[in-house]
Amino acid sequence: MAQKLAEEVEKNRKLWKCDMAGKWWAAEDCSDKSQAGVVYMFRIQLAEGLAGDALWLGTEEDRPFLDSYDHPLNIDILAEDAKLPAARRGAWCKRGTRKVVNVHQLYTSTVEGVKVEHQGRKDGYVGDEIPVAGQFQWLKDVSSSTDKQWLSVNDFNLEFVTGVYSPSSRRLTVAGTHKNAGSKNETGTGIYDMVLSEDGKTMTGLSTAYDPTWECHVSGETFADGKVVLKNSKGEEFIFDDVAEKRKKDREQREKFAKAQAALGNIRDQKARDLMKTYHADMVECVLKNLENEMNSCNEKLKEISSEQSTRLGKIMMACMEKYELVEERYKLLTNIKDKDGTHPLQLPAPPIAKDVPSQVRALLAVAAMKEKRFRDEISAIVRDVNKAANKEEKDFGMKELREKYNIDTTIEMAFPLDDLEENMRIISPEDMKPHACVGRFGCPKSFDRALAKVSAGKVLRDLNRATLLFEDPYALAVTFHVLNSKFKVTEIENKFNRKPYKQPPCLSLNLDVEGIGWISEVQLMLQDILEVKKEMHRLYEVLRAKSPLEIMKPLFKIKHGSDNFS
């Protein structure tokens, strides 16, 4: 009877799980001097049963895996090992000269350094231990590190662990079996011997590598509401977000994005365009025939259509922005970019020999022409690297390599891999007709008349070399900004995405010094639909601001004449 009752209690018992975040730190006098004083922050997720097995097996995004000796680990080995009790997994760890082979040896107290009376507990393993499995997510505390090397949970710095937990003694013993390759082999794998508090909200303990010296400390607290606020060694608060939850939300948001994208009306109203072309052609003919009343009538019709279309496009622009804002986790990284006022020389001055304004403008245009190739080469190289990092077929260059190549500010959160973008969050490049995360367009050389008019109006020629970079993913836009900001001296930043209500199509506008000599160029980072709206609005604006029909005699829309070459 008692046996049956015990079985019933066990059957109805709520499966154990643990979700905490905390710190790991090495003693100052530990034998491994390279670790002395180093601090890591971590999140540990463990569970009994299938939930723990799922954490231990990882996801497609977590792969590829390495074993404890940094050798590639075949996923089939994991699948086979998952059939064993959690405490008996990891037999592949036996390779090499190290003595520890798996967590089962911890459980049976056969590992040197792990004693039954370890950490002053005479009860040791008491016999009610349950098998558990899961993973650590690791983040190095930059403020405690002299080399400023940064590891991010968002780079998949994962260590997969299995072990046992005793509900009566609250002793938790786990050991790492493998890790993901994205951890740059820095986090390694280890053994962890910890005790949970009576309320299960905190834990303390020790950890060691597979050659036990037990000189490293562990402490943690319950991970609740999707985050834990920790303090680094400088006392600065660090919010440890739930990356898995963030990515789950991102997937849901991308589904909404796709639906909003499909529901979005056409930006270009072809019927209105055709009508404007007809009225414009009639207006030009009336001008040539000196039919003033008819000319003005056609002009009024053009303005009326332009006004209606401007209102329509304003609503579409808001719908486009609502679409982009649906991918909230990604869009947040874009709006986090702060403005930077230009406290720099407005532009390199023209040579002293150029005395009058027209001569100065001609001189600056000549300088821009000479610098155009360098400008194009530099910007093109960055776009190629961003697209390589976003290409799954590029095995040797991903987000990690992009960060390392451009020494991107380590405080920047890079929450999502670039190469997981669906095609609807990429742009078809007219160059190769393939989808890319970023597509660039260089501006045509500014004409002398346009440049002179700009200077005469009191403006500065900082856009004689200019480019527009297009994105459909706000996160890819934010990543590219941080690459540009690290590579070049960015002298001015205007984040117009933060300027609501929008009075004009928003973009991220940068002035940057490519060569480091004071010559200022312009790069605008835009979301694809917003550029299409901007182009349509610009044509309408020209009609609405025209004081006379004579100001809009040239074709309103581009006419395809065919190739300039013939024989």
Predicted pLDDT of residue 205: 83
Query: Across the strands, what pairs with 178?
Result: 67, 160
- Measure Cα distances from 311 to 155, 304, 306, 307, 415 in Å: 44, 11, 9, 6, 37
* Entry field: residues in the chain: 567
Task: Choose between 415 and 246: higher pLDDT.
Answer: 246
Predicted pLDDT of residue 69: 72
Lowest mean pLDDT among 196-200, 430-434, 560-564: 560-564
Report the largest interatomic distance among the alpha carbons of the chain, rounded to a whole angstrom: 111
Predicted pLDDT of residue 164: 85
pLDDT band at 286 (very low <50, low <70, confident <90, very high): very high
pLDDT tops 70 at residue 142:
no
Can you tell me the mean pLDDT for 444-460?
85
Supply the mean pLDDT for the chain: 79
What is the tens place of the pLDDT at every residue in 144-164?
443 333 334 344 578 899 888
pLDDT tops 50 at residue 191:
yes
Query: Which of 305-309, 392-396, 449-453 has the highest mean predicted lDDT (pLDDT)?
Result: 305-309
Handedness of CA 152, 154, 156, 160 (dihedral sign): positive
Can you tell me the mean pLDDT for 272-278?
93
Predicted pLDDT of residue 68: 73
pLDDT band at 410 (very low <50, low <70, confident <90, very high): very low
pLDDT band at 409 (very low <50, low <70, confident <90, very high): low
Check if the beta carbon of residue 326 is closer than 8 Å to that of residue 256. Answer: yes
Lowest mean pLDDT among 114-128, 173-187, 225-239, 341-355: 114-128
Predicted pLDDT of residue 140: 61
Query: Which of 62-71, 179-188, 314-323, 557-566 has the highest mean predicted lDDT (pLDDT)?
Result: 314-323
Phi and psi of 218, rounded to 5°? -135, 135
Predicted TM-score (pTM) of the model is 0.68
Predicted pLDDT of residue 414: 54
Task: Choose between 431 and 88: higher pLDDT.
Answer: 431
H-assigned helices in 172-242: none
Predicted pLDDT of residue 148: 35
Check if the beta carbon of residue 24 is closer than 8 Å to that of residue 207. Answer: yes
- Measure Cα distances from 503 to 310, 358, 440, 497, 564 in Å: 12, 33, 25, 11, 39
Predicted pLDDT of residue 304: 94
Task: Choose between 183 and 265: higher pLDDT.
Answer: 265
User: Taking the domains of the chain in order of start, what are their residue ranges?
Assistant: 2-241, 258-552
What is the tens place of the pLDDT at every residue in 97-138?
444 444 445 544 444 444 444 444 444 567 788 889 999 888
Can you tell me the mean pLDDT for 410-429?
73
Predicted pLDDT of residue 420: 76
pLDDT tops 80 at residue 241:
no
Check if the beta carbon of residue 508 is closer than 8 Å to that of residue 474. Answer: no
